[in-house]
A and B are shown apart, each in its own frame.
Chain A
């Protein structure tokens, strides 16, 4: 039977023929949770009298959402995580290390792995040819205890992209466009497989951006076949020996094929309060903004910060705009520091925070005021997301966000990025 990437990995992990629609029980490679969901996972395990994890090396808790802690209740939640980890030997990626999804791709996930995570953007790791999906605290708690999970094998939507991005257009614009096409529930219960010449030429950083936002179309995961670019990334991260070829069979069955020409795309902006409320930057231009946020598991990587620094270097952001930059991980922060990026950002008027989720989840570090608008490189713009239901969140690429910070309103980065 010819298989999609999802069917291949789930066949291997369930030890049988996993065909779309089937319910299978799989061995998990990694079970992870963060500081918002981990304490409930721990509570479920204690409730069930379970005080062991299936493999301490493969169970990881990340303190990234409220890091450093802004409230005593959250400090106490962090204590619970550290103490459970001490008891069971499970790993902790503490408050100074960065967002779970970025850390998973930097240091842990390999092609062919099955990752379950108590965070919806766990799908980010799909860019490494791993089946990675978000679940709740209880599913992940049971995964942590037993090393197993039940899954319905998803059908797959193939997204074939050809052509070259015009100047000022990036992977973020592509995925916003795709979500606009599929809508916020167009891929519910399904996997997305990104392929085609544009994807083959894409950096891992951009591939992570695509897979990260698959869940915003409802998808269970986003997947990309492994290739030389995957191999080079793994070598750079010190895991070159873990490279494997993970590709779909040529005659695998897809539920739907979406073909996109990259050269026809424009910079995109998602309007409040749903991610599929997508328009072109031309339609958005002139919208006043109070805050710009650059960071997150979607767009807080080195490549993103480089683009931002290139746009901001030697300039000042508009008066009345607050620019917050949050590197996705400590490794990225250090690399940006050594490369002089952080200095350029700060000189242009940015406040650079410690690595983590930053203000994306509405806990701290940039909660919106009543009636304020924020242009953000994050993945979600739901009502109340950034800590205030009276706020308005727009989503864009780092380039659009940086250029808009200079202008004080949503602006088209193609005005300055005429050539790459």
Chain B
């Protein structure tokens, strides 16, 4: 799997409250509508600035906080191709893979806003084409690669009739 897109930069500790705010709790049953507000408390009008396939490139502890799976779900619906972060909070990590949103931990300090990136999921590298450098990322556990390849957890269970280790 090869993914290509431009970097949208965010800082450390981007919480799920910033991604999918509690004040919009009533929109959780309408994810396309909620997606229009994705990350707006971190960056106003972010939804309008997304080009399909863009990467969110963040610092430490991306997605900390609440278990709301709506957070990665609306990031995906909004057109983001993958998340690259210095580190990712545990629940968000699982949720992202379960909804089929690729997420990778790598050294994002070497990526600036709008840098053009290419991610090779199998090789485990992020190529920063704007800077001509290659950044390795921590490989996903096999079960997560399988879930991602199957198109999310529900599809994985339907395909295998249970978890495939």
List A residues at the B interface (Cβ < 8 Å).
Answer: 23, 25, 36-37, 39-40, 44, 47-48, 65-66, 71, 73-74, 76-77, 80, 117-120, 122, 134-139, 141-142, 145-146, 148, 150, 152, 184-185, 188-189, 218, 220, 274, 361-363, 367, 380, 382-389
Contacts and interface: CB of A to CB of B under 8 A. Distances in A.
Nearest to B30: A73
Contacts of A76: 29
B91 A382 contact: no
A137 B73 CA distance: 11
Contact of A136 (B15, B27, B67, B87): B67
A37 B67 contact: yes
A120 B153 contact: no
A132 B30 CA distance: 29
A71 B24 CA distance: 11
B28 A384 contact: no
B158 interface: yes
Given A23-B143, A184-B64, A40 B69 contact: yes
A48 B94 contact: no
Contacts of A48: 154, 157-158
A389 B21 contact: yes
Given A120-B65, A188-B61, 14 more contacts: A23-B143, A40-B28, A80-B29, A118-B67, A120-B67, A122-B67, A136-B98, A138-B154, A142-B153, A142-B154, A150-B163, A185-B60, A218-B61, A274-B13
20 contacts: A23-B143, A36-B28, A37-B69, A39-B28, A65-B25, A66-B26, A134-B91, A136-B67, A136-B69, A136-B91, A138-B95, A142-B153, A145-B157, A148-B163, A218-B61, A218-B90, A220-B90, A383-B41, A384-B23, A386-B22
Q: Which of A39, A77, A150 has the most CB of B within 10 A?
A: A150
A152 B23 CA distance: 33
Contact of A120 (B21, B87, B91, B154): B91
B103 interface: no
Interface in B48-81: 60-61, 64-70, 73
B99 interface: yes
A20 to B, nearest CB: 14
Contacts of A384: 17-18, 21-23, 41
Most chain A beta-carbon neighbours within 10 Å: one of B17, B22, B60, B87: B22
Contacts of A380: 17, 65
Contacts of A362: 17, 21-23, 25
A384 B64 CA distance: 14
Contact of B152 (A40, A138, A152, A185): A138
Interface residues of B, number: 43
Contacts of B41: 383-384, 389
B68 to A, nearest CB: 6
Q: Which of B15, B90, B91, B163 has the most chain A CB atoms inside 10 A of its CB?
A: B90
Given A48-B154, A73-B27, A146 B94 contact: no
User: Which are the 7 A-B pairs with shortest beta-carbon distances?
Assistant: A362-B22, A136-B69, A136-B95, A73-B26, A185-B61, A382-B15, A138-B98
Nearest to B62: A185
A139 to B, nearest CB: 6
B122 interface: no
B162 interface: yes
Contacts of A363: 22-23, 25-26
A388 B65 contact: no
B17 A385 contact: yes
Contact of A138 (B87, B89, B99, B165): B99
